[in-house]
C-alpha cells in the first residue's frame, strides 16, 4: 500500500514543484503542501531576481483559513469526498429493490467494484478493494445490502478510529428519517 506522503501528491512535478492531490489529503495537509510549494516557488523567484535583477511575484500562497472561507465551493478533500460518497452509497443501498432481479444483483456487484476502482483517493480505494474481495456485496435485497454496506463502513470507521454506527438504525438514517 502506498504511503500517505506519496499519495498526497499527483505525479505532475515541475522544477521541484509537485501538484498536491486534493482528494488524497485532508484539507490541512493539502493547504500545507500548497504552502510548501509556495515556499519553493518563492525561493526560485528570489534566485531568479538575484541573477537577473528582475522582480518576480509568487504565483500562489493560500492559507487554510483564507482558502476555506473564500472558496466554500472548492474541490473536495478526503473527508468531504468520503462523507458525500458514503451518503450516495447508503442512499443507493436504501433504495435498492426489495426483490432485485439476477441482473440487478450482478450490476450492483459490478457497481461497487467500479465505484471503488475509480474512487479518487488512491489509498482508500486500494484498501476498499481488499475489503470487497474479503467480503463481497450481499445483494439479495435492499435490507441485506444496507446491512452489508453498514458493516463495510464500520470496518473503515474502526480503521480510522471513528465510532461504529449502530446498523439497526441504518434505515432511519438513510431512508425513513429518525423516529421521534
Ligand atoms: P463518515 O464516515 O463519512 O460518515 C458519514 C455519515 O454516515 C455519518 O455522519 C453517519 O451519520 C453515517 N454513518 C457512519 N458510519 C455508518 C455506517 N457504518 N453505516 C451507515 N451510516 C454510517 N478515509 C481515509 O482516511 N482512509 C480510508 O481508507 C478511507 N476509505 C474510504 C473508503 C470508502 C469506500 C469511502 C466512501 C470513504 C473512505 N474514507 C477513507 C473516508 C472516510 O470513511 C470518511 O468518509 C471521512 O473520514 C469523513 O468522515 P466523517 O466522520 O465525516 O463521517
- Residue whose CA lies nearest to ligand 1 atom number 20: 150
When pLDDT is averaged across residues 98-115 and rounded to a whole number, the result is: 98
**Model confidence pLDDT, tens digit, residues 134-145:** 999 999 999 999
**Model confidence pLDDT, tens digit, residues 167-179:** 999 999 999 999 9
CA 160 to ligand 1 centroid distance, Å: 9
- Residue whose CA lies nearest to ligand 1 atom number 34: 128
127 lines ligand 1 (CB under 6 A): yes
Q: How far apart are CA 149 and CA 87, in angstroms?
A: 11
Model-wide pTM > 0.80: no
- Residues 6 or more apart from 63 whose CB is under 8 A from it? 31, 35
> Does position 148 have pLDDT exceeding 50, yes or no?
yes
Residues pairing with 10 in the sheet:
19
**Model confidence pLDDT, tens digit, residues 31-64:** 666 556 555 455 544 554 555 455 544 444 455 4
Report, in this order, helix, strand and coil percent for the chain, each rounded to 5. 65, 5, 30
DSSP class of 141: S
Dig out the grid coordinates for 157 from the structure. 470507521
- At 11 the pLDDT is 32
> Does position 117 have pLDDT exceeding 70, yes or no?
yes
Percent of the chain with pLDDT over 70: 63
- Residue whose CA lies nearest to ligand 1 atom number 14: 165
ipTM of predicted assembly, 2 dp: 0.99
Q: How far apart are CA 98 and CA 144, in angstroms?
A: 9
Average pLDDT of the residues of the chain: 79
- At 91 the pLDDT is 98
Best CATH choice for the domain 78-176 from the list 1.20.120.310, 3.40.50.300, 1.10.15.40, 2.20.28.160: 1.20.120.310
22 lines ligand 1 (CB under 6 A): no
When pLDDT is averaged across residues 80-84 and rounded to a whole number, the result is: 96
Dig out the grid coordinates for 150 from the structure. 453498514
> Does position 105 have pLDDT exceeding 70, yes or no?
yes
Dig out the grid coordinates for 91 from the structure. 442512499
Of ligand 1's listed atoms, the one at least distance from the Cα of 152 is 18
Of ligand 1's listed atoms, the one at least distance from the Cα of 80 is 48
- Residue whose CA lies nearest to ligand 1 atom number 48: 79
Of ligand 1's listed atoms, the one at least distance from the Cα of 153 is 18
The residues spanned by each domain of the chain are 4-70, 78-176
> At 180, is the pLDDT very low, low, confident or very high (cuts 50, 70, 90)?
confident
Amino acid at each position: 500500500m502506498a504511503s500517505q506522503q506519496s499519495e498526497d501528491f499527483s505525479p505532475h512535478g515541475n522544477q521541484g514543484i509537485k501538484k498536491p492531490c486534493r482528494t488524497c489529503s485532508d484539507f490541512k495537509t493539502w493547504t500545507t503542501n500548497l504552502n510548501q510549494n509556495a515556499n519553493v516557488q518563492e525561493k526560485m523567484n528570489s534566485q531568479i531576481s538575484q541573477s537577473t535583477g528582475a522582480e518576480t511575484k509568487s504565483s500562489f500562497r493560500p492559507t487554510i483559513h483564507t482558502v476555506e472561507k473564500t472558496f466554500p465551493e472548492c474541490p473536495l478533500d478526503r473527508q468531504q469526498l468520503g462523507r458525500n460518497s458514503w451518503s450516495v452509497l447508503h442512499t443507493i443501498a436504501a433504495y435498492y429493490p426489495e426483490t432485485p432481479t439476477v441482473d440487478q444483483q450482478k450490476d450492483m456487484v459490478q457497481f461497487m467494484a467500479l465505484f471503488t476502482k475509480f474512487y479518487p483517493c488512491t489509498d482508500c480505494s486500494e484498501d476498499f478493494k481488499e475489503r470487497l474481495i474479503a467480503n463481497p456485496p450481499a445483494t439479495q435485497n435492499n435490507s441485506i445490502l444496507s446491512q452489508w454496506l453498514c458493516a463495510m463502513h464500520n470496518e473503515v470507521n474502526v480503521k480510522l478510529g471513528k465510532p461504529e454506527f449502530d446498523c439497526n438504525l441504518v434505515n432511519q438514517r438513510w431512508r425513513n428519517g429518525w423516529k421521534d
